[in-house]
Amino acid sequence: MPPTTTALDRLNAATEEELDALLTEVCTSDDWVASVRSTRPWPDAGALHAANLAAMARLDTAGLHRAMAGHARIGAPKADDPASRREQAGVQDADAALLAELRAANDSYQEAFGHVFLICATGRSAGSMLAALRERSGNDPATEREIVRGELRKINDLRIDRLLQDF
């Protein structure tokens, strides 16, 4: 019986163009994609996650902004993006008043920091995301940038796991 080909085997064997397209679905920063791709081949999922961690640590402010550009506003998942809808499932049953509060808090946050509020929304309710948004709005830009970096890393890890399940 021939050995089973795993998703990791297929990722390692993908062309650079195919791999870049797949990695861009994980994170829209071209610097992140290039950094993660450069660590291939990955012997196991842990090595791919380690590549994510290292790539996130190296992103400058512009790279972080490019990574955030691929994410929908909290409370407004993109209808044509299954990942956005899945990751923000906690807002699907939120009432109109809570969604209005999220919009207003998002507006205030974006005005203060110059980018969307980013949080690993998987498994979180709309209320808990609003509370985090309000709490983090008081941060200074450097502190918030590092929190965003950590949240992006968590989101990327979840997306990598999904890629390894589905590819």
CATH number at 114 reads 1.10.3330.10
Mean pLDDT, 10 residues at a time, the chain of 167 residues: 81 97 96 98 98 97 94 86 87 91 95 94 94 97 97 97 93
Task: Give residue 145's domain range.
Answer: 7-166
Q: At what angle do helices 141-166 and 45-58 cross, to 10 degrees?
A: 150
Q: What three-state secondary structure class fits 114?
A: coil
Tracing tokens 């970096």 back to the chain, one arrives at: 149
> Is residue 30 one of the residues assigned to a domain?
yes
Question: Structurally, how many domains does the chain consist of?
Answer: 1
pTM equals 0.93
